[in-house]
Structure 1
C-alpha cells in the first residue's frame, strides 16, 4: 500500500511539473483553452436610446451611492473614503486595518473636471462572448478594479464610469478574430452611447478627463477617433490616459486628434504605457500588436508604442525609484491598501516602448497575484504608480485651468537606466 501511495505522489508531481512546462512553453494555448468561449456568438441588441439616463447603468456618476471610485488608500494603511461617498456623507468611516490610525481627511479637494473612466475586462466566463450587465462576478471585479485604478483620477472632479457589455477575456485570446471583433465592437457601442450621454449631461464648458485601462483603454482610443478628433470637444480634453493598451506613435496618434504628452503639465494630450518587470518577455503582447492595422490603415508591425513614464509625465524617459511618491500595495484583494513611496522605478525601453520596472523580485510584493506570463504587470499598470498618476492628473488640470498646481512638479528624468 505504501509503495502504491508513493507511486501516486510521484505521478502527481510529474503531472504538476508537466503542466508547468506546458504553461511556460505554450502560455497562449493554455489561456485560449481556459478562457475562449465555446458558445456561438450572440448579436447584442442595441441599448435603448436613453439607456444611460438611468443611474443603474453606471458604476459611478454624480449623486450615485456606493461609488467605488471614492475609495482612497492612505500612506499609513488606513482607508479614506472620498468626499462624495456614502460613508463620508453619513459620517461613517471605512474601517482601517487593525492598529492603524483613524483615516485622515482627503488630501485634495475635488477638482472641477468631469472624468469618464472605462473599466478593464472583468468578465472571464466562457459561456458568452459579451458580459451580461447583471453578471455578479464581473461587476464585483469591476468594482475592485475601479477602487485600485479609477480612484487615482477621482480627485480631479466628478467621476462617471459606465456599465457596459464588455467582451469576455477570451475574445482577446481567440484565434477567431472575426467573432472576437464582433464582441469587442458590441462592447464599444455601449461605451460610445454612455459617452454621448456623459457629454450631454455635463456643462458645455466643463473640462473633461478620459481614462481607461486595458479593454477600457481600447474603447477610449475609438472614442477619441470617432467622437473627439476634429470636434469642439477636443479643446476641452485635459488629458486622455490610455493605459494598458498599445498606441502606435506612427499609425494611431494623428487619427486620435490629440498629440502625445511631451511634458508633465501639458494639456490636451495622450498618455499611455504598458508595464513589464525584468527579465521581460513581451512576445505574446507584441505578437498580437504586430498583427493589427493602425488607424491610418498601415500595419502596426514593428512600430513603436507610446510610452509615457508615469513617474515623470514625459515619454521615453527614465526615473529611479525615489521619483515614485506612492505605489499602492493592495490588501485583501484591493479592499484596502497603503501607499509605499520610493520602491518602484521605471524606464521606457528604446526598442518598442515598453515600460520596464526592473527586477521582478522587487515588484512582486506589490502585485501579489495576477502577474501575466513574461513578467507582464498589466493588472498593476496604475497601482504601481498610483500617487504619481493622481498628481499627474491634478497637475494637468491646473495647467488647463490656468491655476497654481496643488501638487509639486514632477520628478526630472534620470540620466541613467533604472534597474
Structure 2
C-alpha cells in the first residue's frame, strides 16, 4: 500500500474507523513528527465541527512544527492548550538545545496538512512546556524525568536515518530506562515557539543539529504521564464520560499499546508493513487512538 495513498485516504479512514472505535467513550489522539502533521488534518477536517469533541480529551501532536498562526486560522473549536487541566485542546511542542538555529530547522518549511510549504517570516510554531502544563518556564528541579527506550542493537538505531525508505530496522525494543539523575530545565523561545531545554547529560542523537526531535516524548515521559492524567481526571469530573468511567493515567501511560505507539513514533525508525504505519488502538476506559506515519 503506497504511503501517498495512506495520506490521501487518512480522512476517509478516520471517518470510517472513528465511530466504530470510540463507542461513546472519551479519547486521546497522540502522534509524532510526520504523523502529528497529518493529524492536524484530522482536527481540522473531522473533529473541529464534530459532536465528538464533547468526549475529546486532548491531541498530543508533538514534533511537527505546527504553525500557530495557520492553526488558529484553520481550526476554530480546538484551542491550543494553556493550562494543565484543560480538555478538548491541542498539545504541541518541538524540543531543541540551547544553541538551536530556528532559521535552519525544518529548512524553513512547515507542514500544512498536505505538503511542506515555505514557512512564513513570522511563522511562530505552537509551543507548550510539558513540565508545567502550560507555556511557562520550568527549572531542573521541576522536571519529573525522561524514559529512554532500550534496544538490542544501538548501532542500528544510530544509523536509522541513513537507511532507504524500503529498509527495515533490525533491532528489538527492550523496554524503558528511567534515570533519576537526568533533569533539565525548559522554556519556550518567545520568538520562534521552540521548547528550549538544557543540554541533557546523556549524549543524544541530534536531528537536525541541536534539535532533540527524536526525544520529544522521551525527555518528558514522566511529565507527559502527569499531564495526561490531569486531563483525564478533569474530563471525568465534568461527567462527560458515557458508559465506563475514566480511570487514572497510569493505565494509559503504562499500556503496552501506548508504549508500542511511542516506541514506533519516537523517531527511532519506521516499520515497512503498511498496517504498522497507522495505529487505531482500542483499550478500555477510555479509548486511545494513536496515529503514526513513519
TM-score, reference length from structure 1:
0.47
Among 211, 218, 222, the residue aligned to 1:387: 222
Shift of 1:254: 4.2
- The SS at the match of 2:226 is helix
Indicate whether 1:357 and 2:197 are aligned. yes
Give yes or no for contact 2:108–2:119 (8 Å, CA) kept in 1.
no
- Higher RCO structure (Cα 8 Å, ≥6 apart): 2
CA distance in 1, matches of 2:201, 2:34: 24
Larger radius of gyration: 1
Q: 1:290 to 1:358 in 2, by over 3 A?
A: same
Give yes or no for contact 2:65–2:110 (8 Å, CA) kept in 1.
no
Indicate whether 1:309 and 2:144 are aligned. no
TM-score, reference length from structure 2:
0.66
CA distance in 2, matches of 1:312, 1:212: 20
Aligned length: 220
Which structure 1 residue ranges, 4+ long, deviate > 6 Å from structure 2? Answer: 290-295
Shift of 1:363: 4.7
- The SS at the match of 1:238 is strand
Shift of 1:293: 10
- Name structure 1 gaps, 5 residues minimum: 1-131, 133-164, 167-182, 408-419
CA distance in 2, matches of 1:271, 1:363: 26
Shift of 1:347: 0.8
Among 229, 237, 248, the residue aligned to 2:48: 229
Shift of 1:202: 2.8
Give yes or no for contact 2:81–2:90 (8 Å, CA) kept in 1.
yes
- Once the two structures are superposed, residues 366-410 of structure 1 have per-residue CA deviations (whole angstroms, 9 ceiling, x without a partner) of x3x3x2132111011000001111221121011011179957xxx
CA distance in 2, matches of 1:289, 1:379: 18
Q: 1:298 to 1:346 in 2, by over 3 A?
A: same
Q: 1:320 to 1:226 in 2, by over 3 A?
A: same
CA distance in 1, matches of 2:74, 2:57: 18
CA distance in 1, matches of 2:119, 2:213: 24
Shift of 1:299: 6.7
2:109 paired residue number = 289
CA distance in 1, matches of 2:43, 2:87: 15
Shift of 1:352: 0.7
What does 1:312-391 correspond to in 2, within 5 Å?
312-315=132-135, 317-332=136-151, 333=154, 334-341=173-180, 343-359=183-199, 362-365=200-203, 367=204, 369=205, 371-391=206-226
Give yes or no for contact 2:41–2:113 (8 Å, CA) kept in 1.
no
Computed over aligned residues only, the root mean square deviation of the Cα atoms, in angstroms, reads: 3.1
CA distance in 2, matches of 1:252, 1:236: 21
Q: 1:236 to 1:292 in 2, by over 3 A?
A: closer
Give yes or no for contact 1:265–1:399 (8 Å, CA) kept in 2.
yes
Among 199, 215, 229, the residue aligned to 2:18: 199
CA distance in 2, matches of 1:303, 1:294: 17
